[in-house]
A and B are shown apart, each in its own frame.
Chain A
């Protein structure tokens, strides 16, 4: 056991910026937002703060948590994955189509397929040197169209409900199994990240890719891995959606892209990469879901939802973006 070496601070340590109030605040932003929102909703509707409505919130949030968690890895590496929602929709179609043949293995097959598609996007980004924004924007369009084509542009009903039944159960009667799975995903990915060199590599890549490369960190492999996990998460979220809707549909998850990105930035993960974590996105996803559930409670028509997401994303990035390191903001 070593004792920490406490030496005098560097002479100019005092002149170098300490974390500002804003930076300290953003560290707790998602949790603060969560508490404030809960309080506000309870004030607006005193009957809101019940076990059953909270259970409903986390059940609704589960697919969003998984989607956002996967995409967070890509964002941490300094990229963005815009294809998650379309890939998730494709996943619901694949699940509904494969279920009759594959039965219990369908979940694994779908997750493997979307993971492989994510990996392809990562490879295209890394080896063809195309910005992740473009690769996944293209991917979004392609996956959405593929889902439409193979499903004949309509929902596919799932008759065999046994395969996804377990996801609709409740742990201890209150905790939806889907949410437990979402928590597990976050915990497992975080654990792997935390206790292997992956964390260092991901953050170094996100903060400064050139420095990471010159430190001979496996930048390319880390990025491909991030896209793979993001894809796989989209597949898992798809299974969750199917378990709730008893069908797969080529546009089922399309409206989850904005909430997922909102969850990531509201969580305080820097859109420029490096800074952030999956836990933050979990909190962010809960905030976003609460807003979604809460809007009707305070009397705002749900048509305003998308306006809200758009505003949240812009506002959250405005609050958290460290502009001092960006020469040019594109």
Chain B
């Protein structure tokens, strides 16, 4: 193994391998990064924690040259650098193992490892299999892996493929004389516990000759494997924690900020759910690709939050209820009538509305106008018979623009020119214009919105609930789920495992829920 670390170097003050100062990145309507600082020293494993939308992935992308920051500096070993591409980052010794794996499945391990920088593996444009295998073997040796370099990548387990990725990313050592910085983005999200142990052994091994940035949603893991955790919230660095004597709840408090500060979205006067009646939505034993035997009741006027970690299947349950995800078994009734889950048309006709998580690609049609986006679903609201009535549409759309205080120059403005919050209000209004929506499925309705826009969406959700709409909410954060929901269902590995009442004045804490989620 080629470790060029001199023992005395480790004993003296640690060298700063990577430093980020005041990094800023704006997207239309959002500040993804708003002054982030981060220091990664040599032979250190630094954890990066933060809720969804805290800016973790934007920061990582900036570190490997996939995102160009608007402001701020990145320093590598005392040298200010500008990273324009992944290759640029590699030249500076920074490499990343991506959350979605980046190996080509139908190539061998060796081909994947040399892919992109073939070096001696190719001579005069022709693969030299021997040299390539040796090269790959060298990389695999670095991490002590026994994977056969000539195995086809798609025959390996997910955990093994991850090892191959790590071996591949370590090739940046050839480009720089310094120990590299390896970024692991959510490496454990799909691993079994035994595989996680193996990965952690690997991370500790990497520390011997590299620096590691480790990102995970699972706080216990972060505390277990990292030397130090940097916490992001709302695009800003909010502090650091040495892991030696930290507890998960301490870390979690830093991630979500002081609990209770977001009370404004609870709504001032919330009626307790009406007297027990038949629930509006009744789901029994719903099964699909990623979920099994899900039971769920939602009453009219109630907001039910579904929480769960990545891979819990809650998004797919939501889509299935809208007929956008196939189901294999189960019964779903809406106000006592069986709900047709065969397609989105049927669900829509039955009074089900859905706001997708990916607003830009699934929620709205960017180049189309505010008015056309708003009336896309309930065409009858702007038509007389088969004909579109432009005046009727104008009147309707303007009413809703005013009612939801949507800030747009005009109803004819392409929706993509609006800010995120206003776009989301148009997408929500789509289900409201005809006034016949009975069940709203909201998949991360506040994703990517700033705090002001969020609270407006919260108020709108409250109003809709008060008017009798049943709502299923997949919240962007636990805080949001707790604040908005009357009841919270926890999903774990595709099953609804626990149900927690969350009435005003007796809300569960995030930690109560986290215990159930993992």
Chain A residues in the interface with B (C-beta under 8 A): 1-13, 15-16, 18, 194-197, 199-201, 203-204, 207-208, 210-218, 274-275
Cα distance A262–B204 in the bound complex, in angstroms: 60
Interface size in chain B (residues, C-beta < 8 A): 47
Is B386 an interface position by the 8 A CB rule? yes
Cα distance A7–B395 in the bound complex, in angstroms: 16
Interface pairs A-B: 6 shortest CB-CB = A216-B348, A197-B379, A216-B344, A2-B395, A10-B419, A215-B376
Please name the residue on chain B nearest to A216 by beta carbon: B348
Cα distance A11–B417 in the bound complex, in angstroms: 11
| Contact status B430-A214, CB under 8 Å | no
| Contact status A214-B354, CB under 8 Å | yes
Partner of A196, one of B324, B388, B401, B422: B388
| Contact status B362-A214, CB under 8 Å | yes
Please name the residue on chain B nearest to A13 by beta carbon: B417
A16 and B386 in contact, given A5-B398, A197-B379 (Cβ under 8 angstroms): no
Chain B residues in the interface with A (C-beta under 8 A): 26, 28-29, 322, 324, 344-345, 347-348, 354, 356, 361-368, 372, 375-377, 379, 383, 386-388, 391, 394-395, 398-399, 401-402, 405, 407-411, 416-419, 422, 430
Most buried by A among B391, B399, B408: B408
Partner of B324, one of A11, A18, A201, A213: A213
Residues of chain A lying within 8 A (CB to CB) of residue B322: 214
Partner of A218, one of B345, B347, B366: B345
| Contact status B407-A7, CB under 8 Å | yes
| Contact status A274-B367, CB under 8 Å | yes
| Contact status A210-B361, CB under 8 Å | yes
CB distance from B171 to the nearest CB of A (A): 25
Cα distance A275–B367 in the bound complex, in angstroms: 9
Residues of chain A lying within 8 A (CB to CB) of residue B398: 2-5
Please name the residue on chain A nearest to B396 by beta carbon: A2
A9 and B407 in contact, given A1-B391, A200-B372, A200-B379 (Cβ under 8 angstroms): yes
- 8 residue pairs A–B, Cβ–Cβ below 8 Å: A7-B408, A9-B407, A12-B29, A15-B26, A16-B418, A207-B367, A214-B362, A218-B345
CB distance from A172 to the nearest CB of B (A): 32
Most buried by B among A8, A15, A200: A200
Cα distance A1–B361 in the bound complex, in angstroms: 34
Residues of chain A lying within 8 A (CB to CB) of residue B379: 197, 200
Cα distance A274–B386 in the bound complex, in angstroms: 22
Cα distance A10–B401 in the bound complex, in angstroms: 13
Residues of chain B lying within 8 A (CB to CB) of residue A7: 401, 405, 407-409
| Contact status A5-B401, CB under 8 Å | yes
A11 and B364 in contact, given A204-B376, A216-B345, A217-B377 (Cβ under 8 angstroms): no
Residues of chain A lying within 8 A (CB to CB) of residue B422: 10
Cα distance A78–B187 in the bound complex, in angstroms: 37
> What 14 new A-B contacts, CB under 8 Å, besides A5-B401, A11-B419?
A2-B395, A5-B411, A10-B29, A10-B418, A15-B26, A200-B372, A204-B365, A204-B372, A207-B365, A207-B368, A213-B324, A215-B430, A217-B376, A274-B367
| Contact status B324-A214, CB under 8 Å | yes
Residues of chain A lying within 8 A (CB to CB) of residue B419: 10-13
Cα distance A1–B399 in the bound complex, in angstroms: 12
| Contact status A211-B345, CB under 8 Å | no
Please name the residue on chain A nearest to B405 by beta carbon: A7
Partner of A197, one of B363, B383, B401: B383
Please name the residue on chain A nearest to B30 by beta carbon: A12
Residues of chain B lying within 8 A (CB to CB) of residue A15: 26, 28
Residues of chain A lying within 8 A (CB to CB) of residue B386: 196
Cα distance A115–B352 in the bound complex, in angstroms: 35
Partner of B388, one of A9, A197, A214, A216: A197
Cα distance A12–B375 in the bound complex, in angstroms: 24
Residues of chain A lying within 8 A (CB to CB) of residue B391: 1-2
Residues of chain A lying within 8 A (CB to CB) of residue B366: 207-208
Residues of chain B lying within 8 A (CB to CB) of residue A13: 409, 417-419
Partner of A213, one of B344, B388, B410: B344
CB distance from A195 to the nearest CB of B (A): 5
| Contact status B407-A211, CB under 8 Å | no
Please name the residue on chain B nearest to A322 by beta carbon: B367
Cα distance A33–B26 in the bound complex, in angstroms: 40
Residues of chain B lying within 8 A (CB to CB) of residue A9: 407-409
Cα distance A12–B192 in the bound complex, in angstroms: 44
| Contact status A216-B410, CB under 8 Å | no
Cα distance A289–B28 in the bound complex, in angstroms: 44
Residues of chain B lying within 8 A (CB to CB) of residue A4: 394, 398, 410-411
Residues of chain A lying within 8 A (CB to CB) of residue B402: 5
CB distance from A217 to the nearest CB of B (A): 6
Cα distance A217–B387 in the bound complex, in angstroms: 16
Cα distance A8–B388 in the bound complex, in angstroms: 28
Residues of chain A lying within 8 A (CB to CB) of residue B372: 200, 203-204
Cα distance A7–B400 in the bound complex, in angstroms: 13
Cα distance A200–B365 in the bound complex, in angstroms: 10
Cα distance A6–B401 in the bound complex, in angstroms: 10
Partner of B417, one of A16, A204, A213, A275: A16
Residues of chain B lying within 8 A (CB to CB) of residue A203: 365, 367-368, 372
Cα distance A1–B419 in the bound complex, in angstroms: 28
CB distance from A276 to the nearest CB of B (A): 11
| Contact status A200-B408, CB under 8 Å | no
| Contact status B410-A211, CB under 8 Å | no
| Contact status A200-B368, CB under 8 Å | yes
| Contact status B377-A216, CB under 8 Å | yes
CB distance from B181 to the nearest CB of A (A): 27
Residues of chain A lying within 8 A (CB to CB) of residue B363: 211, 214
Residues of chain A lying within 8 A (CB to CB) of residue B409: 6-7, 9, 13
Cα distance A4–B430 in the bound complex, in angstroms: 19
Please name the residue on chain B nearest to A203 by beta carbon: B368
| Contact status B365-A208, CB under 8 Å | yes
| Contact status B416-A16, CB under 8 Å | yes
| Contact status B347-A216, CB under 8 Å | yes
Please name the residue on chain B nearest to A199 by beta carbon: B388
Cα distance A199–B363 in the bound complex, in angstroms: 19
CB distance from A221 to the nearest CB of B (A): 9
Partner of B365, one of A6, A8, A196, A212: A212
| Contact status A214-B344, CB under 8 Å | yes
Residues of chain B lying within 8 A (CB to CB) of residue A195: 387-388
Residues of chain B lying within 8 A (CB to CB) of residue A16: 28, 416-418
Partner of A6, one of B324, B399, B410, B417: B410
Cα distance A4–B401 in the bound complex, in angstroms: 10
CB distance from A13 to the nearest CB of B (A): 6
Please name the residue on chain B nearest to A274 by beta carbon: B367
A211 and B364 in contact, given A2-B395, A12-B28 (Cβ under 8 angstroms): yes
A214 and B356 in contact, given A10-B419, A13-B409 (Cβ under 8 angstroms): yes
Residues of chain A lying within 8 A (CB to CB) of residue B324: 213-214
Cα distance A215–B431 in the bound complex, in angstroms: 9
| Contact status B387-A210, CB under 8 Å | no
Residues of chain A lying within 8 A (CB to CB) of residue B376: 200-201, 204, 212, 215, 217
Cα distance A199–B393 in the bound complex, in angstroms: 14
Residues of chain A lying within 8 A (CB to CB) of residue B394: 2, 4
